[in-house]
Chains A and B, each alone.
Chain A
Amino acid sequence: MSSAEINKNEVDIVIGALNADLTQFLTSWRPFFSGFHLIVVKDPELKEELNIPEGFDVDVYSKTDMEKVVGASNSTMFSGYSCRYFGYLISKKKYIVSIDDDCVPAKDPKGFLVDAVTQHVTNLENPATPLFFNTLYDPYREGADFVRGYPFSLRSGVPCAASCGLWLNLADLDAPTQALKTEQRNTSYVDAVMTVPAKAMLPISGINIAFNRELVGPALVPALRLAGEGKVRWETLEDVWCGMCLKHISDHLGYGVKTGLPYVWRNERGDAVESLRKKWEGMKLMEKSVPFFESLKLPETALKVEDCVIELAKAVKEQLGSDDPAFTQAADAMVKWIQLWNSVNSSS
């Protein structure tokens, strides 16, 4: 499949604005965002006015807009990094591409700027292969194919639900790791896209992600909120939790999740050591989450994404609720999210 064939009308680029001045961000992405519709959602806790350069087809949503759609009490669900989920909620497009506002286009080893949007959409439009690992990675890529020994019955693949991109410069490491290796930056450009096998768990980062909204939109849940959640990725886990849910639901429904290209360049921001000072409860929550997801089995009767989320929320409450209030809140948020999704998307 040629990557030049993507239909821009099928894509919304959703940006969560945690920084008021989006000039550098949008200017650097202009070559790749132009022609696309943008949804910019302002963190409801951000006080300053957003600064958005001219020349983009963009709709901006702030706290007032959120409250009109979901009500005042529910707008807290969309604070901080979770503001982007409001964009997912109200979008009408098939594909969503979402990039953190502190990232700019990366350069590939040849020195060319990486068109992350096109790469993400290409990933989403090509089948995924979660049922058997292809040692040459993405078999649909030009120059590659399925290797000897790959079962023929599995070569048509399955629909791709999500495309998880990576980061050069500041990688998405946790605070303890980055604090220990203050100088470490990711300089390794791994030229591959691959499907993460079914049943395998992974930490999905929200920094550079795309998904098929028509297929799995409701599964991207703004649910887990750390007590000390902050405005740097080191102080959040919402995307990791969202990703665990998304992967599990994708596996259950027979969809695939890809990882690898495209890379974005993540600018220097924040201080890992500073973030480390906060009590890092994310670690404990992850430890509890893993055995839960490992043993979780969604009922066979859950055939729609919305039902999967509800069942998952039920299981979270039952099995993790007593471990930490954050889990109960997450479960409640997941249920509320589906209610909102159904109400917003059925009235359109």
Chain B
Amino acid sequence: MAQLYSSVKPTPMLKDELDIVIPTIRNLDFLQMWRPFFEQYHLIIVQDGDPSKVINIPEGFDYELYNRNDINRILGPKASCISFKDSACRCFGYMVSKKKYIYTIDDDCFVAKDPTGKEINALEQHIKNLLSPSTPHFFNTLYDPYRDGADFVRGYPFSMRKGAITAVSHGLWLNIPDYDAPTQLVKPLEKNSRKFDLPLRLPILYVDAVMTIPKGTLFPMCGMNLAFDRELIGPAMYFGLMGDGQPIGRYDDMWAGWCVKVICDHMGWGVKTGLPYIWHSKASNPFVNLKKEYNGIFWQEEAIPFFQSVTLPKECTSVQQCYLELAKLVKEKLGKVDPYFITLATGMVTWIEAWEELNSEERTEAKAPNGNKE
């Protein structure tokens, strides 16, 4: 029965099994608010942009920091697969981590409150999500059946109630929603609020649910508040080539999400979405965003049917094999849409090569990060 999992109380902290990966180009002041929830965990900071800039990290956190110089030094020519001037560079953090789980969060995301006014421990909820099974093969209308107070509904096949292992926990955001540029332009927040006499910020509804995205269904995976089982799906969490020198931006997490979902479906693993919420504070400039997303808006119309119809051969039994097969297909099928996809496919292969290199042997002194460790 479902309650076997909900009786695991309290939620294990997993502080030696989880790394928090944060990309940043500005500062990490936001960590002050997260202190009670993050202090016991190891942080991996991936500093984007100018490596000579000193990023201020609040006292008392245990972290390792990598700037572009570190990335180049550690990966050598393979560093070409890691984006520059885009938060996609965060996936370097996944690669160098030695932990089983990763939680990644943006530096403009703060602690949210639930409808009762209580502060939400997002990390704890993600851990709960990852440690309990998913239900990708049959939709439960009461959402997560393993949650306290919930269960499988009448008609849910008993043979499927054990569920599948959870690979990804996708969290959501209150306050500034994760909209694309065209939507941001059409719905400027202040205008909306004044018109309908609402408080300045239009809050998104707090939906008190976690659910599994069914097998065979794609979704837009946002990297702002995301956790995953690195040992399971890590190699598929490549955030692509974005930013400087690339014709596209703000599709890094989308790309990773499509690849991850296809592979999870193939491997029989689950992807959850819903709780926890974080508070997203910064609305990025929609005009800047439009420039970044422009190509993506058209390319995704080709990419989506590609991912929806892709079948991975039975012989692909590891995530790396699946990913390399995907890279091959991306080159073949999407290469004709734009040469960017050929570059991206190459990046995907390089990523796997780098992943294998860093994760199958001991790291030497030379690969140690530049930043201070406390």
Q: Report yes or no: B139 in contact with A137, Cβ–Cβ below 8 A.
A: no
Tell me, rounded to whole Å, the shortest Cβ–Cβ distance linking B293 to chain A: 8
Which residue in chain A gives the minimum CB-CB distance to B255? A149
Cβ of B222 within 8 Å of any chain A Cβ, yes or no, is yes
Q: Report yes or no: B178 in contact with A147, Cβ–Cβ below 8 A.
A: yes
Q: Report yes or no: A205 in contact with B205, Cβ–Cβ below 8 A.
A: no
Residue in A164, A177, A240 whose CB lies within 8 Å of B152: A177
Q: Report yes or no: B297 in contact with A177, Cβ–Cβ below 8 A.
A: no
Residue in B143, B179, B207, B214 whose CB lies within 8 Å of A148: B179
A189 and B180 CA atoms in complex are apart in Å by 29
Q: Report yes or no: A148 in contact with B152, Cβ–Cβ below 8 A.
A: no
Cβ of A343 within 8 Å of any chain B Cβ, yes or no, is no
Interfacial residues of chain A within 182-206, with CB under 8 A of chain B in the complex: 184, 186-192, 196-205
Cβ of A234 within 8 Å of any chain B Cβ, yes or no, is yes
A173-B151 in contact given A152-B297, A191-B205, A200-B214 (Cβ < 8 Å)? yes
Q: Report yes or no: B214 in contact with A149, Cβ–Cβ below 8 A.
A: no
Complex interface: stretch among B82-90, B98-106, B156-164: B156-164
Q: Report yes or no: A136 in contact with B177, Cβ–Cβ below 8 A.
A: yes
Measured between beta carbons, the chain B residues less than 8 angstroms from A198 are 217
Q: Report yes or no: A192 in contact with B141, Cβ–Cβ below 8 A.
A: no
A148-B3 in contact given A143-B203, A192-B209 (Cβ < 8 Å)? no
Complex interface: stretch among A10-18, A77-85, A116-124, A283-291: A283-291
Tell me, rounded to whole Å, the shortest Cβ–Cβ distance linking A179 to chain B: 11
Which residue in chain A gives the minimum CB-CB distance to B171? A135
Residue in B204, B213, B301 whose CB lies within 8 Å of A133: B213
Residue in A145, A151, A153, A240 whose CB lies within 8 Å of B154: A240
Q: Report yes or no: A199 in contact with B216, Cβ–Cβ below 8 A.
A: yes
Q: Report yes or no: A148 in contact with B220, Cβ–Cβ below 8 A.
A: yes
Q: Report yes or no: B139 in contact with A202, Cβ–Cβ below 8 A.
A: yes
Residue in A109, A153, A189, A234 whose CB lies within 8 Å of B301: A153
A270 and B41 CA atoms in complex are apart in Å by 50
Measured between beta carbons, the chain A residues less than 8 angstroms from B159 are 287, 290
A234-B251 in contact given A133-B217, A186-B149, A199-B214 (Cβ < 8 Å)? no
A286-B155 in contact given A133-B219, A200-B216 (Cβ < 8 Å)? yes
A143-B204 in contact given A152-B297, A152-B301, A181-B151 (Cβ < 8 Å)? yes
Q: Report yes or no: A146 in contact with B218, Cβ–Cβ below 8 A.
A: no
Tell me, rounded to whole Å, the shortest Cβ–Cβ distance linking A268 to chain B: 16
Interfacial residues of chain A within 7-37, with CB under 8 A of chain B in the complex: none
Measured between beta carbons, the chain A residues less than 8 angstroms from B155 are 174, 203-205, 237, 239-240, 243, 282, 286
A149 and B180 CA atoms in complex are apart in Å by 7
Q: Report yes or no: B154 in contact with A205, Cβ–Cβ below 8 A.
A: yes
Residue in A137, A145, A180 whose CB lies within 8 Å of B207: A137
Measured between beta carbons, the chain B residues less than 8 angstroms from A202 are 138-141
A210 and B154 CA atoms in complex are apart in Å by 18
- Mask, A151-176, CB within 8 Å of B = 1, is 11110000000001010000111100
Measured between beta carbons, the chain B residues less than 8 angstroms from A282 are 155
Interfacial residues of chain A within 29-81, with CB under 8 A of chain B in the complex: none
Tell me, rounded to whole Å, the shortest Cβ–Cβ distance linking B129 to chain A: 14
Which residue in chain A gives the minimum CB-CB distance to B261? A133
- Mask, A205-242, CB within 8 Å of B = 1, is 10000000000000000000000000001100101100
Measured between beta carbons, the chain A residues less than 8 angstroms from B370 are none
Q: Report yes or no: B157 in contact with A286, Cβ–Cβ below 8 A.
A: yes
Measured between beta carbons, the chain B residues less than 8 angstroms from A237 are 154-155
Cβ of B183 within 8 Å of any chain A Cβ, yes or no, is yes
Cβ of B366 within 8 Å of any chain A Cβ, yes or no, is no
Interfacial residues of chain B within 102-136, with CB under 8 A of chain A in the complex: 115
A149 and B90 CA atoms in complex are apart in Å by 19
A135-B170 in contact given A109-B115, A149-B180, A164-B141 (Cβ < 8 Å)? yes
Measured between beta carbons, the chain B residues less than 8 angstroms from A109 are 115
| Nearest 3 interchain pairs by C-beta | A149-B220, A203-B155, A240-B155
| Chain B residues within CB distance 8 Å of chain A | 1, 3, 115, 138-143, 149-160, 170, 172, 177-180, 182-183, 187, 202-209, 213-222, 250-251, 253-254, 257, 273, 293, 297, 300-301, 304
19 contacts between A and B (CB under 8 A): A132-B304, A133-B219, A134-B219, A135-B273, A143-B202, A146-B179, A147-B220, A149-B253, A149-B300, A184-B149, A186-B142, A187-B149, A192-B209, A200-B138, A201-B138, A205-B154, A243-B155, A286-B156, A290-B157
Excluding A147-B178, A148-B254, 6 further A-B contacts by CB distance (< 8 Å) are A152-B301, A172-B153, A190-B208, A196-B214, A237-B155, A259-B139
